[in-house]
Amino acid sequence: MNWRDRGLCLREDPDLFFPIGTINSAQVAIQTDEAKAVCRHCPVTEQCLAWAVDAGPIEGIWGGTTEGERRAMRRREVCRPAETESAA
Ligand code: SF4
């Protein structure tokens, strides 16, 4: 079984996870919080977040994060100093 088949979002309105500009910023924030609340209880949050970070820029709430939050995670990953080879 694929991790996607176990996501709690399958039981929700898919639009909840894609807050967009047709609504005002306060409504986007509320919708984002509601989607994140679902993700917090999801059994596959780690897999979902890892997939979304690896996938690159994608819209929507995945693994309890917004694309902006994932972009920051990717930047931190790129900026992280390489493991020292002398550590072995
Ligand atoms: S973490 Fe959120 S977006 Fe990912 S599968 Fe679970 S409910 Fe869906």
Identify the domain containing residue 10 by its residue range. 3-87
Q: Which residue has the tokens 């072995």?
A: 88
CA atoms of 38 and 45, how far apart (whole Å): 10
Q: Give me the pLDDT at residue 78, please.
A: 84
Instruction: Give this prediction's pTM.
Output: 0.86
Query: What SS3 state is found at 50?
Result: helix
Q: Which atom of ligand 1 is nearest to the CA of 52?
A: 4
Q: What is the pLDDT of residues 5-42, one digit of tens each?
A: 999 999 999 999 998 866 788 999 999 999 999 999 99
Average pLDDT for the chain: 90
CA atoms of 33 and 42, how far apart (whole Å): 14
Q: Which atom of ligand 1 is nearest to the CA of 12?
A: 7
Any atom of ligand 1 within 6 Å of the Cβ of 48: yes
| Maximum pairwise Cα distance, the chain | 53
- Considering its fold, how many domains does the chain have in total? 1
The residue to mutate among 44, 49, 53, having the most atoms of ligand 1 within 8 angstroms of its beta carbon, is 44
For ligand 1, the distance from its centroid to the CA atom of residue 57, given in whole angstroms, is 17
Q: In the 8-state DSSP scheme, what is residue 23? A: S
